[in-house]
Structure 1
Amino acid sequence: MIRRLFLSLLALPCLLSAADAPPNIVMIISDDQLWSDYSFMGHPVIQTPNLDRLAKESLTFTRGYVPCSLCCPSLASLITGLYPHQHKVTSNDPPIPAGMKPREFQSSPQFDAGREVVSKHLEEAGTLPTMLKEKGYLSLQTGKWWQKSYQRGGFTHGMTHGGRHGDEGLNIGRKTMQPIYDFISEAKKEQKPFFVWYAPMMPHDPHTPPQRLFDKYKDKAPSEKIAKYWAMVDWFDETCGELIKHIDDNGMKENTIFVYLSDNGWITNPKTGRYAEKSKQSQYDGGLRTPIMIRWPGHVQPKMSEDLAESIDLVPTLLHAVGIKPTKTFPGIDLLDDAAVTARKTIYGECFTHNFVDLNNPAASLRWRWLINGYDKLIVPNKANQPDDVVELYDLKADPTEEKNLAPENADKVKALTAKLNAWWQP
């Protein structure tokens, strides 16, 4: 009896340390997917059973947003918790020298030098993997990554070594999931908490789904191009299911925070297969809106919420969840703080040119600033880059696809919201 009691006391610190261990974090980032292209968001044809299940088990913000509808700055905001004008990564690529063609530019010394400047901006801004090191986290980059090597983002492990937006990292999801499983095994072996950045180039083009999935949608879609995109969404959902199952089947469900969102939206042009005007790179919800999910069993109550959420909220949310006190003030809020979520009625964002105009001056590349206040959405163009655009105002509750500009007959509201937008950032 005494010996058993002694042995149980010896085991107690191990039990306590396991219970107190910081949670693992898995971040799933869809690439170019419209906010409504999920079964749980009401799409009548696309099937996303795994993400539907994740949404049901999560605190799910159906009105989530990214500040910018372009891949590189959107991902930079996600990993820093800052707006593009704060971290200075406003665009995908450096400025193109006069007379040089884009393809020629991407293999030039000028392109590499410009990317180095952008990578330094990200390092100076600070990233989530760097902050998580304080708690001993190992971190893995897979999929889309724009800032040269994964190490530039503070990851301890990674797949991308310097290609424009991912090189070997782009194999994740489309070809294999094994690097993630190997990394998790290593972290468990070292008894370290881990952070996984799963950002496959899916459903991003090229839209090359397995034949079985294309066959599933080819007779249900308005065009072959749309069928291929729908099949890509289904394929991406399958990979998410594999990743979630791996975590859950290996006894890590209760101590792993899953986060889900898309980096920006996408609407398929039925003729070309490219993106339609009011989606990617635009100032509209088709490019900016995304569901945001947080699953953490026993800590986060599952709920479908219509409160506003933004990708910049995720860094402060995760830091608070793992017990790290931020060393600076973030513009976002803790999405697990009900009072803060309820109190906030306004979110902000900004869209920039695809190529930088000036690598060190965010205002030079600005196209539009926008805010959402309740269900009112104001869009203000930067005349330097959008000389023919007008101020736009939409009622997102009555007009979610932003068809009717209400600005002309609501001058007072436009004035008040513009003042609010200028108080946030006026270049």
Structure 2
Amino acid sequence: PFFVWYAPFLPHTPHNPPERLLRKYQQPGRQDDVSKYYAMCEWFDETCGELVDYLDGKGIRENTLILYITDNGWRSTSENADDPHQAAWERYALRSKGSPYEYGIRTPIMLSWPSRIEPVRNPGLAHAIDFFPTIASAAGIEAPRDLEGINLLDLSAIQERDIVFGVTHSIQDITIGNPDNNLQYLWCVSEEWKLILRYPGVDTTRFKAIHEWDSAPARLYNLILDPHEQRNLADDHPELVSKLSEEIRTWHAVDLDLIR
């Protein structure tokens, strides 16, 4: 057995794709930062293809599990030009990287194992905590029973899951021994609903642009009807907000009275 973790810098900034790729994505009406990002994604895809070709050449592709993931979402600043708060932040669109919104946390989780997995798109909830149980299962290793994650090769486990949780901290400013000091948001997704709770953690870094203006204590979105999280329904469904807030507190003990 072998394990390879391939983690290139692509498609992170600086966005400097080869000209041959950039030309493919340049078109009238498309901002240059968007074209460069698309080209960077294809550049990364090419390198992944080289790895897959190597496995094919060795005759081991059929019995190799490939887990494709990314650490965060990203959106160009030009795609958020209508947001008056964007002018204070030039690195990327607000509500993307470093935020609890879908542009920041909804990322691809794809598994490929030709001899074991039939290609299918599964609408179930998956999370980064599932990677270890999944890899352990593929390797024939029994994972500890108290893990929060599930084995993504087990379709029944995906179907039975009804909620996932997450937190967002101040990037690059975690307080050792007291991580909640820099906690910015707690969130959960349950069926079509997503609740985001704002937490008054300290943020002294240059990455605090979102937390400063996004002052609503609770944001509730229907991700099926409103995937871009434009309409906050917290005031319309107070009982659901209360229920999901308690789910979050049970998962991560915090003083909900501090939510503001």
Name the TM-score class by shorter chain.
Answer: 0.7 to 0.9
1:227, 1:221 → 2: CA distance?
Answer: 11
What corresponds to 2:219 in structure 1? Answer: 392
Aligned partners of 2:180 and 2:201 also within 8 Å: no
SS of equivalent to 1:304: coil
Unaligned runs of 5+ in 1: 1-192
Question: Secondary structure at the residue paired with 1:216?
Answer: helix
| Contact 2:129–2:149 under 8 Å retained in 1 | yes
State how far apart, in whole Å, the 2-side matches of 1:318 and 1:335 are.
9
Which of 225, 228, 233 is the aligned partner of 2:33? 225
- Higher strand proportion (structure 1 or 2): 1
- How many pairs align? 235
The equivalent position to 2:141 in structure 1, one of 314, 324, 344, is: 324
Aligned to 1:282: 99
Partner Cα separation in structure 1 for residue 184 and residue 29 of structure 2: 33
1:338, CA displacement in angstroms?
A: 1.7
Q: TM-score, normalised by structure 2?
A: 0.85
Q: Tell me how large the CA RMSD over aligned residues is.
A: 1.7
Counterpart-to-counterpart distance in 2, 1:197 and 1:221? 38
| Partner Cα separation in structure 2 for residue 426 and residue 236 of structure 1 | 39
Q: 1:327 Cα deviation (Å)? A: 4.5
Which residue is equivalent to 1:423? 250
Q: Percent identity?
A: 40
Q: Is contact 1:226-1:273 (8 Å) kept?
A: no
Aligned to 2:241: 414
Q: 2:206 matched to which residue of 1? A: none
SS in 1 for 2:220: strand
Shift of 1:268: 0.6
Give distance in 2, aligned partners of 1:225 and 1:360. Answer: 39
Structure 2 counterpart of 1:227, which letter?
S
For the pair 1:208 / 2:16, whether they are aligned, the reply is: yes
CA–CA distance in structure 2, aligned partners of residues 222 and 378 of structure 1: 33
SS at match of 1:303: coil
What's the offset of the Cα at 1:384? Answer: 3.5
Match of 1:307 in 2: 124
Partners of 2:147 and 2:134 in 1: CA distance: 10
Larger Rg, first or second structure (1 or 2): 1
* Higher RCO (CA-CA < 8 Å; seq separation 6+): 1
Change (3 A) 1:221 1:229: farther
Q: Could you tell me whether the CA contact under 8 Å between 2:183 and 2:200 is conserved in 1?
A: no
In the TM superposition, 1:170-209 aligns within 5 A as 193-209=1-17
1:243 aligns with one of 22, 47, 51 = 51
List, as ranges, runs of 4+ consecutive aligned residues in structure 1 with deviation greater than 6 Å.
none
Residue pair 1:264, 1:290 contacting (<8 A) in 2 also: yes
8 Å contact kept, 2:63–2:115 = no
For residues 367-406 of structure 1, the aligned pairs below 5 Å read: 367-385=184-202, 388-406=215-233
What's the secondary structure of 1:393's corresponding residue? Answer: strand
Within 2, Cα distance between the matches of 1:243 and 1:321? 19
- The 3-state SS of whatever aligns with 2:249 is helix
Distance in 1, matches of 2:35 and 2:164, equals: 34
User: Counterpart in 2 of 1:353?
Assistant: 170
Q: 2 CA distance for matches of 1:284 and 1:352?
A: 13
Task: List alignment gaps of at least 5 residues for structure 2.
Answer: 82-88, 203-210, 255-260
- The match for 2:258 is none
Question: Does the 8 A contact of 1:369 with 1:379 survive in 2?
Answer: yes
Q: Look up the SS of the partner of 2:27 in the other structure.
A: coil
Give how far 1:234 is off: 1.2
